[in-house]
Amino acid sequence: MIVPPGFEQQSIVTSLGRMVYYTNSGEPWRSLNAANETDLPTLVFLHGFGGGSSAYEWSKVYPAFATEYRVLAPDLIGWGRSEHPARNYKIEDYINTIIEFIEQACTSPVPVVASSLTAAFAIRAAIARPDLFKSLILTTAAGLSDFGENYTRSIFAQLVSTPILDRLLYSTGVATSTGIRTFLEQRQFARSNRVYEEIVDAYLQSAQQPNAEYAALSFVRGDLCFDLSLYINQLTVPTAIIWGEKSQFTGPEVGRRLAALNPQAIKVFQHLDDVGLTPHLELPAIAIGLIRRFLRLLE
């Protein structure tokens, strides 16, 4: 996997296996933070889902915070370098392991930055355990079955629900350089010329890990989707939401509707022109500026 300089791999053990995370414990960050390293607040980054997802998704953003925060960027269970149990993953698996990660890796409430479906899980986790969360900064936070939509009825979700065919589709259509590049260019990014070779390589390395297909297929089948509109009004943690105007899976109009359900907790809804599902990977400098602004605002 591709890890920024000065970040080292560590891990915790969750109820579903070992979860790897990356943190700024090496040079040059260690020398810069030596005087007050134990006093640095913690900032957590959680990646979204898709073929080959991992903490790499935030790797162009989180080093910008390494002088001010103890950064934690995990590979969620079933993705990246974390363990890949051979199981059909459920929504509760990710809500619970996000909670377990924060319980074990953090000593006080933390701001959490998360994307797409994982952002929706982070909302559910913050509803269940608000004591663990200081604030939420979320990109394209959607349950993918919001306001009564049923993702599992889509043709692709039904194809991937067919035994044997599902793994064939994964190995030939997802876990290949061509498959990943095509998805990123056509579905994830607003502009195909922003997809460079390192991004494809990082996603491919994650997608080709042993048993990587289990989490990816659970996601594509729709096993992890839910209607966030049924939960979001229970959120009490201060939250800011960023939404790419050209997100193909869930457009910004859905985000605005979700935010309008809980204006007491959701302090900001910021749409961005000319970006897709992952603005932090497509235009990381813009994401850094907004995250820094929202961290101050949500204080």
- pTM, two decimals, is 0.95
pLDDT at 17: 98
Contacts of 93 (CB under 8 A, 6+ apart): 16, 77, 87
**What is the fold, at CATH topology level, of the domain defined by 8-298?**
Rossmann fold (3.40.50)
The C-alpha atoms of residue 269 and residue 119 are separated, in whole angstroms, by 14
- The predicted pLDDT at position 165 comes to 65
3-state secondary structure of 114: strand
CA distance 192 to 210: 29
Domain boundaries, the chain: 8-298
Q: What is the pLDDT of residues 31-73, one digit of tens each?
A: 665 555 568 999 999 999 988 999 999 999 999 999 999 999 9
DSSP state string for 101-133: HHHHH-SS-EEEEEEHHHHHHHHHHHHH-GGGE
Strands 70-74, 42-46: pairing is parallel
Comparing C-alpha atoms, which of 124, 3, 175 is closest to residue 74?
3
What is the per-residue pLDDT for 100? 98
pLDDT, residue 33, reads 58
Residues of the chain with pLDDT under 50: none
3-state SS, residue 292: helix
Per-residue pLDDT at 124: 98
The pLDDT assigned to 156 comes to 58
Q: Which residue has the tokens 């350089």?
A: 177
> How many whole angstroms separate alpha carbon 222 and alpha carbon 297?
35
